[in-house]
Amino acid sequence: MSLWMILPVSLPVLTITGIWVVYAMALYNQHVCPVDNWLYNQSCEEDLYLQSGPTLCCTLDNVPLISKCGTLPPESCFFSLICSTGSFMVMVIVLLRYAHVIEKHQNCVLNTASLSTGWICAAGLMMVGNFQVDNSKVLHYVGAGIAFPTSMLFVCVQSALTYRLAKTQGEYNVAHLRLCMTLLAFVALVLSGVFFCQESFILQHASAIFEWLFCVIIMLFYGTFAFEFAGMSSDTMVVLARGTLGPAGREHKVDALGPPGGPFPHSHPHQPENMSIL
């Protein structure tokens, strides 16, 4: 069992724990309302009835969206740190997954699409974390508009890729798990977006709940890569070192598998020396 499996497990542990810590800090500083509170006022001039504990300002500006939780200091500092660290880990996991597929199987359109969408999602996540919604609303929403759709597209592509590469019952079980998580994430994302556009306090609060659910599912999805990373070897690093994106990486794959006609990829009289077969 490879120690590389710790990496995809660490991502959901770090990010999910981190954003809940940010939420706890924002709640302690009364910057957002509790997720279990569904009572809102038009303004903070009147206290909320039936509200226990300290008086809270619960208006549409205090809906516990993830971005709202990380808007004001000191929690905004931790929110930026978590998003930046999570973005870097996403990029590494996506790259290793890309190389691992080439090592164990071969490159394909789905694998390349997965690498592209994963890295674009990481870039959007970094923008979300470092441009707070109250300080730089346009850039924040641009980052969210990049991160949310591409993360959804990434899990869709990975689910399809898992089914395509599955050979054993265990691999099919992982594919079924990822498909279920993808469907749940899609429903949560759609409901969050639809409710977010409404002016109702209840629907805005429901949007926040579904946003939290979507992000947790996506992070747990990354954690499922521990199944593949458990069998990762140093050969994966060799694929990366020789350049998975260039001719050297493709030539390495041909040398390892050989063409259908024989073990020597360059013995065919009509095949140029640098041509590779995928």
List the domain boundaries for the chain. 3-232
Instruction: Name the one residue in this structure whose structure tokens are 């409710």.
Output: 195
DSSP string, 205-252: HHHHHHHHHHHHHHHHHHHTTHHHHTT--HHHHHHHHT-TTSHHHHHH
DSSP-based three-state secondary structure for 129: helix
Least Cα distance to 38 among 206, 251, 239 occurs for 206
Least Cα distance to 26 among 65, 79, 75, 80 occurs for 75
Q: Which amino acid is at 28?
A: Y
CA dihedral (113, 114, 119, 125) positive or negative? positive
**Cβ atoms of 122 and 37 closer than 8 Å:** no
Position 178 scores a pLDDT of 98
pLDDT tens for the chain, 278 residues long, are: 678 899 999 999 999 999 999 999 999 988 898 898 888 877 776 555 545 555 567 888 889 999 999 999 999 999 999 999 999 999 999 999 999 898 888 888 999 999 999 999 999 999 999 999 888 999 999 999 999 999 999 999 999 999 999 999 999 999 999 999 999 999 999 999 999 999 889 999 999 999 999 999 999 999 999 999 988 877 777 777 775 444 434 444 434 334 444 444 444 444 444 434 33
What is the Cα–Cα distance from 269 to 161, expressed in whole angstroms? 34
And the tokens for 184? Answer: 């749940």
Task: Report the 10 Å Cβ neighbour count for 160.
Answer: 17
Position 58 scores a pLDDT of 82
Position 120 scores a pLDDT of 97
Position 143 scores a pLDDT of 96
What is the Cα–Cα distance from 42 to 265, expressed in whole angstroms? 72
What is the Cα–Cα distance from 78 to 65, expressed in whole angstroms? 16
What is the Cα–Cα distance from 158 to 5, expressed in whole angstroms? 17
**Cβ atoms of 105 and 235 closer than 8 Å:** no
**Cβ atoms of 57 and 107 closer than 8 Å:** no
